[in-house]
Amino acid sequence: MTRKYGIADTTFSRVDMGSLVYKVIRSEDSEADIVRYTVPGIKDLPVAAKRLIDEGCDGVITLGWVGKTMLDKYSYLATSIGLIMVQILTSKHVIDVTVHEDEADDEEKLKEIAIDRATKHAKNLVKLVKEGKNALTKYAGKGLRQGYSNAGEID
């Protein structure tokens, strides 16, 4: 059966992670169906993810961007709870890629974080959807990081 992936992204984001993730998923799973759903902001992502799963996606990746204010951070907290609820209700992975605008001061670094995080998590999603619960087991405890260099394992 053809695997189907959902990509939910926002117009609030300052980097087009959706187009990037589409290409990554396509290169990791060439036969897959990929559906993209773009919403205004992060709080709209939970329903987008749920609707993508309702239309047959085996897993979804959400691509959010959080501003610097406390209101933005509270919005993310609400979003995160919503995304976890979608996972629990559907028993499907919703991989939450979020870039927080205060992770870096300069725009180039923020873009670098976004590209690295989105790419690595898109690959994680494909592995989980293709191979299931032990797909990432060989990397367990390795201190892998998304958005940054890996922290590494403590011997």
Distance from C-alpha of 19 to C-alpha of 17, rounded to nearest angstrom:
6
Exactly one of 14, 26, 36, 43 binds ligand DLZ (CB under 6 A); which one? Answer: 43
For residue 84, give Cα distances in angstroms to 33, 94, 95, 116, 137.
Answer: 24, 8, 10, 23, 21
Q: Is 51 in the site for ligand DLZ (CB under 6 A)?
A: no
Count the helix, strand and coil residues of the chain and give each as a percent rounded to the nearest 5.
Answer: 50, 20, 30
Q: Is 40 in the site for ligand DLZ (CB under 6 A)?
A: yes
Distance from C-alpha of 131 to C-alpha of 60, rounded to nearest angstrom:
15
Q: Is 66 in the site for ligand DLZ (CB under 6 A)?
A: yes
User: With CB under 6 A as the contact rule, which of the stretches 19-27, 58-66, 102-110, 112-120 interacts with ligand DLZ?
Assistant: 58-66
User: With CB under 6 A as the contact rule, which of the stretches 14-22, 35-43, 88-96, 103-111 interacts with ligand DLZ?
Assistant: 35-43
Contact by Cβ (8 Å): 74, 21: no
> Smallest distance, Å, CB 67 to ligand DLZ?
4
User: With CB under 6 A as the contact rule, which of the stretches 14-22, 27-35, 64-72, 134-142 interacts with ligand DLZ?
Assistant: 64-72
